[in-house]
Structure 1
Amino acid sequence: MSKRTIRPTRPVRKSGSWKGILFFFLFGMLLFVLFRDKPKTILPPASPYIAELYRDGKVIEEKEFDSFDQAKAFVGQQRGAVQRTTDERYLYLTGSGIGIADAPETLNIYADRTLKKRLTYVAPGSRLSLLTYGEQASRIEIAGLTGYVDSERLTPYPLERSSNRSYYETRGDRLLHYIVADAGLGGLITAGQAPSSAPERTTTYVESKTLTKNLRQPTDLTAKQLDAYIKKNAPDSPLIGTGKTFKQVERDHKVNAAYLLAHAIHESNYGRSEIARDKFNLFGVNATDIAPGQNATAYTSFEDSIRKTGKFIARDYLAEDGKYYRGAFLGNKARGMNVFYASDPYWSEKIAGILLKMNAV
């Protein structure tokens, strides 16, 4: 039998795999994307300052600058402002506008631009009418007072950039005040009895008739009527039954009992505030803006708070020789109790509104 030689067959030549082709195609595209010249798609950062020019209540031009002095020079004597782009804070303003009292401390208001004679103070977050902006001192108006403040404590804001402003509105015999402010100072309030000459609506200051009511005169409301008002508006109030104490203080110290009650209602929310619960403090005595709960004076009872605070107010605020006497009425930031009793520039209006609702005007 002859031997059979088995020879290996010739391998079959295969064409290139489609997977390989796809791999090299994608790899090539990747290299193209990585190494090609890229167009500049990232916008350059904004310049540190923007100068704005205004006319007829509108922004007519905006221009960026690398320095504050350049932006200020561009504005010149025109109506305009300079804004810092990092925090969108306005640093400079020509003409009138709005000034926001910076936190955290109260803002002092002075008699002139030397900033030496203090007239009063307002809470941080208050919005003042900015009459003239100056780099050291700015002339302002708020709650019936015109004075000067340290410009470093004030954020200027152009009217052209403000869409929401405070205003007064008359409805019947009531004067309403829509207050735009920060730190819980704003909102719509009844500001007291409207004067006969008050316009229907205005952004300028209006003094209600209630603000000039003599607080040395007794109220016609009886102790029972005072208690009835408390019960009607706050049935859970711990002040129900204190009407006789308010009337006793009225007799002893010649301070209007209805005013005292309205004051206590405003400051303590009918005796339900934290300070009232913890310290029986109904009138915010020594409750400073920085640490109200910690610094507030403590009393032994609500009656103790009414008696001692009534005596203190009659002596220091309503007596002509009193330490803080500026007139024996609620007033505003120019005269009356509100000059030194509270940092809220419209504290007196909020109490006046309660008196009007109490029918005690």
Structure 2
Amino acid sequence: MSNKIDVNMKIQSSFEGPSQSYYQTKTRFEEILKNKLGVSIGASSGYSVGGASDLSNLSSSSTNKYGVATSVNSLYDNVRLSSGASASAIDEKLKGTDLEGLGASFVKAESDYGVNAWFLTGVAILESGYGTSKIALDKNNLFGFQAYDATPYASAATFSTKSESIDYVAKYLSEAYLTPGGTYYNGTSVDSIGQRYATDQNWSSKVKKIMANLLSA
């Protein structure tokens, strides 16, 4: 299958199929989630944060050092909300990972396309295992873009840089998922995006839990 980007195709999660990328990076990804974000992985429920089964302790957060001026739940409900984040704030959370130094790209993508930078960062972390997946390493594809379940590595789009991946997918999300009348528009919440974005039924809860840890003071 050609790697040419087809904007009419639904994005699939790069972690859905039995790809070589998944098996090579799963252990490292889980270690990073646990050690850097406090996200543990249970056998039945998938991801848990700080040992808790809910995020109620973050539901009424005020402005913190990462630029969150509204409750975390508000960001879950509308990823069009401005993050207020600086590039350095995001880079602080990505320090020591393969995504380090991309804070400016996430912030610029939000400015250009109106997609919350923390949401974009959370999706990139989940889909690429902090930039360690084979698709991310070989193709600069941080979002599993076009990594269809049957042929995740072969079909995944290739980008010249990781920043190009962020820019392209942010634009695609804005136009296809977050604009009324867009091909996959279903609302602006993380949950509504997840219903159309990936085949993993737990995708949105995983993204929200990663976001919760990114946004914790």
Does TM-score exceed 0.5, indicating one fold? yes
**Are 2:143 and 1:283 aligned?**
yes
**Are 2:210 and 1:348 aligned?**
no
Q: Deviations over 1:272-322 (max 9, x none)?
A: 110001111100111112211111111111011000011001110111121
Is the Cα–Cα contact under 8 Å of residues 317 and 323 in structure 1 kept in the other structure?
yes
> Which of structures 1 and 2 has the larger relative contact order (alpha carbons within 8 angstroms, sep 6+)?
2
What is the Cα deviation at residue 187 of structure 1? 3.1
What is the Cα deviation at residue 188 of structure 1? 3.6
**Residue 112 of structure 2 aligns to a residue in which SS?**
helix
Is the Cα–Cα contact under 8 Å of residues 128 and 143 in structure 2 kept in the other structure?
yes
**Whole-angstrom CA distance in 2 between matches of 1:274 and 1:302:** 13
Q: Deviations over 1:90-124 (max 9, x none)?
A: xxxxxxxxxxxxxxxxxxxxxxxxxxxxxxxxx79
Is the Cα–Cα contact under 8 Å of residues 140 and 160 in structure 2 kept in the other structure?
yes
2:117 aligns with 257
Summarize the alignment of residues 127-142 of structure 1 with structure 2, pairs less than 5 Å apart: none
Is the Cα–Cα contact under 8 Å of residues 211 and 349 in structure 1 kept in the other structure?
no
What is the Cα deviation at residue 238 of structure 1? 3.0
2:89 aligns with 225
What is the Cα deviation at residue 251 of structure 1? 0.7
What is the Cα deviation at residue 189 of structure 1? 2.8
Aligned in 2, Cα 1:311/1:188: closer, same or farther, shift over 3 Å? closer
**Residue 310 of structure 1 aligns to a residue in which SS?**
helix
Q: Deviations over 1:212-242 (max 9, x none)?
A: 42101111321101000000xxx1x232111
**Are 2:194 and 1:194 aligned?**
no
**Whole-angstrom CA distance in 1 between matches of 2:137 and 2:215:** 28
**Whole-angstrom CA distance in 1 between matches of 2:139 and 2:88:** 26
% same residue: 32
Q: Which has the higher strand share?
A: 1
* Greater gyration radius: 1
Partner of residue 107 from structure 2, selected from 247, 270, 283: 247
**Whole-angstrom CA distance in 1 between matches of 2:196 and 2:144:** 13
Partner of residue 318 from structure 1, selected from 178, 196, 210: 178
Tell me the TM-score normalized by structure 1: 0.42
Is the Cα–Cα contact under 8 Å of residues 192 and 355 in structure 1 kept in the other structure?
no
Q: Which has the higher helix share?
A: 2
Is the Cα–Cα contact under 8 Å of residues 75 and 81 in structure 2 kept in the other structure?
no
**Whole-angstrom CA distance in 2 between matches of 1:258 and 1:269:** 16
**Whole-angstrom CA distance in 1 between matches of 2:182 and 2:79:** 14
Aligned in 2, Cα 1:211/1:255: closer, same or farther, shift over 3 Å? closer
Q: Deviations over 1:190-223 (max 9, x none)?
A: 3762399xxxxxxxxxxx9478421011113211
| Cα RMSD, aligned residues only | 3.0
Aligned in 2, Cα 1:359/1:212: closer, same or farther, shift over 3 Å? closer
**Whole-angstrom CA distance in 2 between matches of 1:245 and 1:177:** 29
Q: Deviations over 1:117-160 (max 9, x none)?
A: xxxxxx79xxxxxxxxxxxxxxxxxxxxxxxxxxxxxxxxxxxx
Aligned in 2, Cα 1:245/1:324: closer, same or farther, shift over 3 Å? same
What is the Cα deviation at residue 179 of structure 1? 5.7
Segments ≥4 residues shifted beyond 6 Å? none
**Residue 215 of structure 2 aligns to a residue in which SS?**
coil
Partner of residue 339 from structure 1, selected from 190, 195, 199: 195
**Whole-angstrom CA distance in 1 between matches of 2:182 and 2:214:** 28
**Residue 182 of structure 2 aligns to a residue in which SS?**
coil
**Are 2:162 and 1:302 aligned?**
yes
Tell me the TM-score normalized by structure 2: 0.68
Is the Cα–Cα contact under 8 Å of residues 55 and 212 in structure 2 kept in the other structure?
yes
**Whole-angstrom CA distance in 2 between matches of 1:189 and 1:287:** 26
